[in-house]
Amino acid sequence: MKKLLLLFFLILSLSIHTKAQNYAELSATDAVTGKVMELGKMTSGKGMVLIFHSLSCPFAKMYEGRIKAIKETFQAQGIAFALINPEVGNSEAEQISLRSFIDDSGFKMSYLIDNGQAWAKLFQVTKIPEVLVLVPGENGLQVKYKGAIDNNPQAETAVTERHLERALNQILKGENPAAAQVRAVGCNIRTY
């Protein structure tokens, strides 16, 4: 029984180790530059915020100003940011619409195409917008926070819990976020 339990924990630790390393190897086309980007190379020394986004989701539109403000605050502290769209393909027409959005909105960040929804499936993301905070760890990139940006998508003035900001502040202090996961509210990701 002890050997079986030891074997179970060994297999579990190897699978966690392998998964963490694989995050850095994930790649997607950046609609802004047209280049294939690798997550590990995009992540700065302190971390990376991936924001699952769609041009057709009204909740994503409601969060635009808040996303820009969070990016401005934390990018200066060494956190990288990227949008990722799980609802488009790699066609030139779809890349043009995403590139135009970045140019017109002033987001000034990569807009990755999650072709085939591989990233959404891997990270089990179901809503737009939903965020992931990845940080470098001993075994590669680790998800430190997943979920909502804050607790009120419709009225920024009524926000009482700034989940993403709190998680980023705690990570920058070398702490684990008090809440590692908060259920995101928004549009359901259309699955294909």
Domain boundaries, the chain: 2-188
User: 130, 126, 118, 110: which is closest to 53 by C-alpha?
Assistant: 130
CATH class of 2-188: alpha beta
Looking at residue 22, its pLDDT comes to 75
Distance CA(125)–CA(13), nearest Å, equals: 23
- pLDDT score at 13: 44
Can you give the pTM of this predicted structure?
0.86
What's residue 192's pLDDT? 60
- The tens place of each residue's pLDDT in the chain, 192 residues long, gives 554 444 444 444 434 443 444 798 999 999 999 999 999 999 877 999 999 999 999 999 999 999 999 999 999 999 999 999 999 988 898 999 999 999 999 899 999 999 999 999 999 999 999 999 999 988 889 999 999 999 998 888 899 999 999 999 999 999 999 999 999 999 999 876
pLDDT at site 137 = 87
pLDDT score of 2 = 53
110 burial type by CB count under 10 A (0-12 exposed, 13-18 middle, 19+ buried)? buried
CB 135 within 8 A of CB 108: no
